[in-house]
Amino acid sequence: MDVLCIEKDLFSVVNIRLNVSNNSMKASLAKVFRKNMAKFRVEVNPARIDRERELLYELQKPKFKGFIHHSLHDYLHAGFFRTVFDTWEVAVYDDERLIAVSYFDKGLNSIASLLGLQDPEYSRYSLGMFTMLVEIEHAKSIQAKWYYPGYILDKDSSFNYKLRLGDFEFYNHNKRWVSFKKFSPELLLSNQISDRLYELRAIFNERFWAYNYFYYPYFSMGFMGAWDNRFVKFPVLISTGNLLPQGEVFVSYDIEKEVYTLLVAAVAEDYSQFINMEVSQEYQDPAYISTLLKEEMILFVSKEAVDMADFMAANNLFPDKTEFTC
């Protein structure tokens, strides 16, 4: 996905990679690496899933954000019995006790880090960072060129620790890998969506119209599969509190078509059949719409925010013209 709804905000996903063939470990990380290599036993082998590893996954679950796989097996196999990927692991032991494990896929000239799990009783040892350092050293040992540690976000977040690993490249909006020193978030999708909706909200505020601003994490379902239902695909929805027989009225910005969109949406019945994942506790916050919505009809589209506001006013879609909320 290009964007994520987490931490009561909209973020762009920024994929990064590290050229391990010319990367040297920073002094502070080298110290962590040496101390842990001396203290613990480290093994790099084809991936395994067993009771110990599943337990580490369960211990880590509360820290995960967004949608969460039920088990480690589900995470690595996506519901299939087998996987086509060449998945390996870094396992860290204190004597015979498994205290950390990370998983990565091997490619022709690269490895991609997938997931790191650590025993919380060993938090002072920075085992998450340590297993990534082991992965990088393994990449060098097999003469791989690239290390892909997943993604960071376009604004400061808990994902930024990955940048400590070296001088990264990022995948920009032109679909090119460039130095992270050139990173600028202004052109990323989350900022474009937020900017366009800010223009609309400014008009609502000037007119003292009441509304609520929601993040909608299920938006990705609107882009997946050939469903009988047409699911809402906008990560941010503004509600006027107006209800029609078909459902609730929302307005958002369609980044694909570059238009403001006024739509009617309703809760998709028995939506759990479409989503076989758990959700993090944060999605219970009222800042989120935490049920799957299906699109019932499009009422109006417009390139301009003021035209959208005028249409809504002409059709009495702001019944409560009191102090706004957001």
Please tell me the distance from the alpha carbon of residue 232 to that of residue 217, in angstroms, as a whole number: 10
- In angstroms, the CA 230 to CA 144 distance is 43
**Sign of the C-alpha dihedral computed for residues 167, 168, 172 and 177 taken in this order:** positive
| CATH for 3-184, options being 3.40.630.30, 3.40.50.2020, 3.40.250.10, 3.30.450.20 | 3.40.630.30
Domain chopping of the chain, boundaries: 3-184, 189-314
pLDDT at 79: 61
- From first to last of the 326 residues of the chain, give the pLDDT tens digit: 789 999 999 999 999 999 998 889 999 999 999 999 999 999 999 999 999 999 999 999 988 888 899 999 999 987 666 778 899 999 999 999 999 999 999 999 999 999 999 999 999 999 999 999 999 999 999 999 999 999 999 988 778 899 999 999 999 988 999 999 999 888 899 999 999 999 999 999 999 898 999 999 999 888 876 566 689 999 999 998 888 899 999 999 999 999 999 999 999 887 666 677 888 889 999 999 989 999 999 999 999 999 999 999 999 887 554 443 33
Please tell me the distance from the alpha carbon of residue 11 to that of residue 279, in angstroms, as a whole number.
18
Q: What is the pLDDT of residue 182?
A: 93
Q: Which has the closest alpha carbon to 215: 1, 9, 3, 2?
A: 9
Determine the Cα–Cα distance for residues 274 and 251; give it in Å rounded to an integer.
Answer: 24
Residue 162 confidence (pLDDT): 93
Alpha helices in the chain (DSSP H): 27-39, 51-60, 72-77, 127-141, 189-206, 305-314
Q: What is the pLDDT, as a whole number, of residue 321?
A: 47
